[in-house]
Chain A
Amino acid sequence: MIRTQEYNLNFGPQHPSTHGVFRILLTLDGERVVKAEPICGYLHRGVEKLAEARTYTQFIPYTDRLDYLAAMLQNWGYVMAVEKLMGVEVPEKAEYMRVISGELSRLASHLIAIGTYSLDIGAFTGFLLAFRERETTMDLLEELTGSRMTLSYARIGGVAADAPDGWLEKVDKFMDKMPTCIDEYDGLITGNEIFQARTREVGVLKPETAINYSISGPSLRGSGVDYDLRKAKPYGVYDRFDFDVPLGKNGDCFDRFDCRMKEMRQLVRIIKQAIQQIKEIDGPVIGKVPKVIKPPVGDAYAEIETSKGIIGYYVVSDGSPKPYRVHVRRPSFINLGYLDEMLRGYLVADVVAILGSLDIMLGEVDC
Chain B
Amino acid sequence: MFGKGLVKGLEITWKEFWSPKTVIQYPEAQNPIPERFHGRFVLDTDKCIVCGMCANACPNKVISLKKQKVGTKQFLTNYVMNIQYCMFCGLCVETCPKDALHFSKVINMNQYFYNNIPLVLVQREAPAEQVEQEKPAAKPTPQLKADALAPTAESEVAASKASDKEGE
Which residues of A come within 8 Å of B, CB atoms? Answer: 54, 57-62, 64, 125, 129, 132, 135, 139, 142-147, 150, 152, 160-161, 164, 184, 187-189, 191-194, 196
B9 on the interface (CB 8 Å rule)?
yes
Cross-chain pairs A/B with CB under 8 angstroms, 7 sampled: A58-B59, A60-B91, A61-B59, A125-B13, A146-B38, A147-B89, A189-B9
Q: Are A191 and B91 in contact (CB under 8 A)?
A: no
Contacts of A64 in B (CB 8 A): 89
Contacts of B44 in A (CB 8 A): none
Q: Are A54 and B38 in contact (CB under 8 A)?
A: no
A188-B13 in contact given A58-B59, A132-B22, A146-B90 (Cβ < 8 Å): yes
Q: Which of B29-37, B125-133, B137-145, B147-155 contacts A (4 or more CB under 8 A)?
A: B29-37
B167 on the interface (CB 8 Å rule)?
no
A161-B5 in contact given A60-B89, A146-B103, A187-B12 (Cβ < 8 Å): no
Q: Are A196 and B5 in contact (CB under 8 A)?
A: yes
Shortest CB-to-CB span from B26 to chain A, Å, is 13
Shortest CB-to-CB span from A68 to chain B, Å, is 11
A184-B89 in contact given A146-B37, A192-B5 (Cβ < 8 Å): no
Q: Which DSSP category, helix, strand, loop or mixed, fits chain A's interface?
A: helix
Q: Are B36 and A61 in contact (CB under 8 A)?
A: no
Which residues of B come within 8 Å of A, CB atoms? Answer: 2-6, 8-9, 11-13, 16, 22, 31, 34-38, 57-59, 87-91, 94, 103
Bound state CA distance, A135 and B12, in angstroms?
20
Pick from B35, B89, B103: contact of A152, CB under 8 Å:
B89
Residue of B whose beta carbon sits closest to that of A143 = B34
Q: Are A61 and B22 in contact (CB under 8 A)?
A: no
Q: Are B3 and A193 in contact (CB under 8 A)?
A: yes
Residue of B whose beta carbon sits closest to that of A191 = B5
Contacts of A145 in B (CB 8 A): 36
Pick from B6, B35, B58, B91: contact of A192, CB under 8 Å:
B6
Contacts of B3 in A (CB 8 A): 193
Shortest CB-to-CB span from B135 to chain A, Å, is 22
A59-B59 in contact given A139-B31, A152-B90, A184-B12 (Cβ < 8 Å): yes
A62-B59 in contact given A150-B89, A187-B9, A188-B12 (Cβ < 8 Å): yes
Contacts of B2 in A (CB 8 A): 193
Residue of A whose beta carbon sits closest to that of B87 = A61
Pick from A59, A152, A160, A191: contact of B9, CB under 8 Å:
A191
Contacts of B90 in A (CB 8 A): 146-147, 152, 160
Contacts of B91 in A (CB 8 A): 57-58, 60-61, 152
Bound state CA distance, A277 and B156, in angstroms?
60
A150-B36 in contact given A139-B31, A160-B94 (Cβ < 8 Å): no
In the complex, besides A54-B59, A184-B12, 10 extra interface pairs with C-beta distance below 8 angstroms are: A58-B91, A146-B38, A147-B38, A147-B88, A152-B87, A152-B90, A187-B5, A188-B12, A189-B9, A193-B3
Pick from B8, B36, B87: contact of A187, CB under 8 Å:
B8
Q: Are A61 and B89 in contact (CB under 8 A)?
A: yes
Residue of B11, B16, B36 contacting most chain A CB atoms (<10 Å)? B36
The 9 closest A-B pairs by CB, nearest first: A61-B89, A58-B59, A191-B5, A146-B36, A143-B34, A146-B38, A152-B89, A188-B9, A187-B8
Residue of A whose beta carbon sits closest to that of B103 = A146
Shortest CB-to-CB span from A77 to chain B, Å, is 17
Bound state CA distance, A135 and B26, in angstroms?
15
Shortest CB-to-CB span from A198 to chain B, Å, is 13
Contacts of A150 in B (CB 8 A): 87-89
